[in-house]
Structure 1
Amino acid sequence: MVGVFRRSFSFPNKTPAKPSLSHHVRSISLPCRSHPLIFQLKDEIANLNSWSLNSDPRTAAWICDGLSRLKTVHNHLDDILNLPQTQESLRRHHHWIDKLLEHFLRFVDVYGIFQTLILTLKEEHSAAQVAMRRRDQEKIALYVKSRKRLARQMAKLVSTVQKKPKITVQGQGGVTPDLAAVIEEVIRVTMTVSLAVFNGIAESFGTRKVWTWTGLDRVSKKMKKSAEEEKGIKEFREIGSENLRELKKKGKEETRIEMKKMRDLEDWITDIESESQRVFRSLISARVSLLNALSQQQELQK
């Protein structure tokens, strides 16, 4: 009886319970662990979200900062897309890659058009400064018209960014949830920054609405008009069409102030052009990485 008791008492202690549990935990956790680059990208996206929630007046510096942050986000995404494990994961989902490529192509096209428009604005802005020094009202009037035309073209870019439905990338088998979610977030913040830039310039140069009111609507309409005048980018908005048209009526000091604003704005236009060009290149780079994954998948199928 004693021997049986000893055998039944000691047998459970020989069972390797802990090694079995440890092996089980490793088999579940390791394949699901996110790459450190994904955490870095999430931090950059969070910074960009904070930027978009800034309630201060929209300025050219704010726009440049947003474009710079967006470029950093896409650079991080490109690094992730070039990881061997990411390429292997993407190669099994060519239909999903096709949708992402379409989305990135839209952004590339939009920023390509924006590059052309901002370069045209820069040239016309420089010509307008010469016209201001010569007090050539006819050429200044042409510049005012060109700004309105630019506002309409920027509004079209806004519509292009908005009209496409959002691509949902989650739920793809074989793709980690973190990777799918972070790509969706990159697409979302790209739309946010793009709309801020394009809509900001469109509102700055667009024709002001003429508000009419009578009686009890007077105060309400005034408030709406004030809100309308605050739209756009501060440095762009400060050089109003009315001020340019009435240049001949201004004295030397007023003209000097307006010309300084024009020089400052030219510098900001150059900065926006440079930052948007960096975004354009980062978008192309990320799209090329997606194309590489797709081409490798097609080669494997041959």
Structure 2
Amino acid sequence: MARLSPPNPALPVRSISLPSTSHPNSVKVEAQLTKLRSWDSSANPLKAETIQTSLTKLAELFNSIQDLVHSPLTQQAFHPQHSSQVDEAIEGSVGLLDVCGTVRDLFMAMKEHVQGMQSLLRRRGGRDSSIESSILAYVSFRKKTKKEITKSIRTLKRTETKVNGSYRRRSTVVEDQQPYVIEVINEARAIAISIFRSLVSFLSMPEVAEKNAGGWSMISKLTRVGMLASDKGQKTFNEVGNVDVALCSIQGQVRKKDAKVDVQEVQRRLEKLDECINGFNANLDCIFKSLIQIRVSLLNLVTP
């Protein structure tokens, strides 16, 4: 799988020049942008709570931008002759929509596997051959996601180039609402690209597991030294990786007919991952809908 280069934590910072008669929502948008400019994706591993917070703020930002685009001042500022700038802004959303939809679908598929394993563990414990079959199905799914993850990484890189290329300096004419709105949209998308890259990284196969064809070998070594129950294990991987470690441990114990399967710990990790997926997808749904609405609104602005 293509290596994920860490997003640049130094997100673009613009000098704020709000239109003097702008919609009150402009102040809200700028405040939300300021909070998201401090987004730092350099932590390793990046925990779900950190990404979840950024996705929530991003969903709120895009919702506010939608309100800004619908404001009477913006409606009056846009004319058909602005179609070239609008076309660039619309084009910048295509990649984000693609990645947002893909990641949402991958999380939903992961959720089905996670809930299936939770059900099996509740009904049969950790000493049943069906558990191993379920784990193998999950491992197969994780490997298949690599293709979609690689595709999403490339899409984000292309989108980043387009968005960065469409930046304009903040207008010095404070009454000029039209360039202000376009620049706000572009900056929001640049931030979204960084957050989405971190989300894709969160979903990726842990690097230590990916380095060999077996997929589980390096994780297996960690479980043998007690990583399943240790605090160190919790800090080594994110929530997805912690489930990988737990499932590898169960798989090895089932094969050895070991009665010491810590079903409670495995269930706890599966439940935590399931909660993460629910939170991610709720925000991804909101972001996806907002991106669609903003595209439609921009088209309406310049349609004679």
Same fold, judged at TM 0.5 (above): yes
Secondary structure, counterpart of 2:38 in structure 1: helix
Q: Which residue of 1 aligns with 2:290?
A: 282
- Over the aligned positions, Cα root-mean-square deviation in angstroms equals 3.1
1:170 matched to 2:163: no
Q: For 1:240, which of 229, 239, 244 is the aligned residue? A: 244
- Which has more helix, going by share of residues? 1
Deviation at 1:44, TM superposition (A): 0.6
Q: What percentage of residue pairs aligned between the two structures are identical?
A: 23
Alpha carbons 1:135, 1:247 under 8 Å: kept: no
The partner residue of 2:185 within 178, 183, 186 is: 183
Query: How far off is 1:42 after superposition?
Result: 1.5
When structure 1 is superposed on structure 2, of 190-199 and 248-257 the one drifting more is 248-257
Alignment of 1:115 with 2:104, yes or no, is yes
Report the counterpart of residue 217 of structure 1 in structure 2.
none
- 1:46-57 to 2 correspondences below 5 Å: 46-52=34-40, 55=43, 57=45
Provide the C-alpha distance between the structure 1 equivalents of 2:275 and 2:20, rounded to a whole number of angstroms.
48
2:55 and 2:284 in contact (8 A); partners too: yes
After superposition, the C-alpha distances for 1:19-61 in whole angstroms (9 at most, x for unaligned) are: xxxxxxxxxx997555432222121112122233574752222
SS of alignment partner, residue 170 of structure 1: coil
2:71 counterpart of 1:73: no
Following the alignment from structure 1 to structure 2, what is the Cα–Cα distance between the partners of residues 39 and 98?
Answer: 25
- What letter corresponds to residue 154 of structure 1 in structure 2? I
Q: CA deviation at 1:146?
A: 0.7
User: In 2, are the aligned partners of 1:34 and 1:178 still within 8 Å (CA)?
Assistant: no
> Contact (CA 8 Å) 2:33, 2:61: kept in 1 or not?
yes
Question: How far apart are 1:68 and its partner, in Å?
Answer: 0.7
Match of 2:137 among 142, 146, 157: 142
Q: Scaled by the length of structure 2, what TM-score is found?
A: 0.71
Q: How does 1:1-302 map to 2 (within 5 A)?
A: 34-52=22-40, 55=43, 57-91=45-79, 92-132=81-121, 133=125, 134-136=128-130, 137-164=132-159, 165-167=161-163, 168-170=166-168, 175=177, 178-204=180-206, 207-209=209-211, 234-240=238-244, 242-248=248-254, 249=256, 250-295=258-303, 299=304
Contact kept? 2:142, 2:205, Cα under 8 Å: no
Number of residue pairs aligned between Structure 1 and Structure 2: 250
Deviation at 1:290, TM superposition (A): 0.9
Residues 176/285 of structure 1: CA separation in 2 closer, same or farther (3 Å cut):
closer
Q: Is the 8 A contact 2:70 2:297 kept in 1?
A: yes
Specify whether residues 270 and 284 from structure 1 end up closer, same or farther in structure 2 by C-alpha distance, changes over 3 A only.
Answer: same
Change (3 A) 1:156 1:245: farther
Larger Rg: 1 or 2? 1
Equivalent pair of 1:48/1:189 in contact (CA under 8 Å): yes
Deviation of 1:141 (Å): 1.0
Give the residue type in structure 2 aligned to 1:246: G
Which runs of no fewer than 5 residues in structure 2 stay unpaired?
1-16, 213-232
Q: Distance in 2 between matches of 1:178 and 1:232?
A: 43
CA distance in 2, matches of 1:231, 1:255: 20
User: What TM-score do you get using the length of structure 1 for normalisation?
Assistant: 0.71
Conserved in 2, the CA contact under 8 Å of 1:126 and 1:266? yes
Question: Per the alignment, do residues 107 and 31 of structure 1 end up closer, same or farther by CA in structure 2, a change over 3 Å counting?
Answer: closer
1: CA distance between counterparts of 2:204 and 2:144?
9
Indicate if the aligned counterparts of 2:89 and 2:185 stay in contact, CA closer than 8 A: no
Change (3 A) 1:122 1:30: closer
Following superposition, the deviation at residue 177 of structure 1 comes to 5.3
Farther off after superposition, 150-159 or 76-85? 150-159
In 2, are the aligned partners of 1:112 and 1:280 still within 8 Å (CA)?
yes
The Cα offsets for residues 103-136 of structure 1, whole Å up to 9 and x where unpaired, read as: 1132222212222222111112222334444442
Per-residue CA deviations over 1:169-188 (Å, capped at 9, x if unaligned) read: 42689555543432221111
Contact conserved, 2:48 with 2:238, CA < 8 A, in 1? yes
- Contact 1:78–1:285 under 8 Å retained in 2: yes
